[in-house]
Amino acid sequence: NNHGQDPEYRAKMSAAIKKRGQDPEYRAKISAAAKERYQDPEYRAKMKASHSKEP
């Protein structure tokens, strides 16, 4: 069952994701989790390397 190709399913999921992304409580939770992850030097180095412009 390939839901990703069903336009009705995609529209429903897209709306749900957009709605959730605008929820201040959800955004605060995601922000806190990201800040916590970034305190890990290993994670920070990995992200810095993966987002650098050099190949």
Note the pLDDT of residue 43. Answer: 96
Question: CB of 44 within 8 A of CB of 38?
Answer: yes
Whether the pLDDT of residue 4 is over 80: the answer is no
Question: pLDDT tens digits for 9-26?
Answer: 999 999 999 999 999 999
User: Which residue reads 């987002």 in tokens?
Assistant: 51
Note the pLDDT of residue 11. Answer: 94
pTM of the model: 0.61
Note the pLDDT of residue 53. Answer: 80
Report the alpha-carbon distance of residue 55 to residue 52 in Å, rounded. Answer: 8
Note the pLDDT of residue 5. Answer: 87
Q: How far apart are the first and last CA of the chain?
A: 37
Note the pLDDT of residue 1. Answer: 64
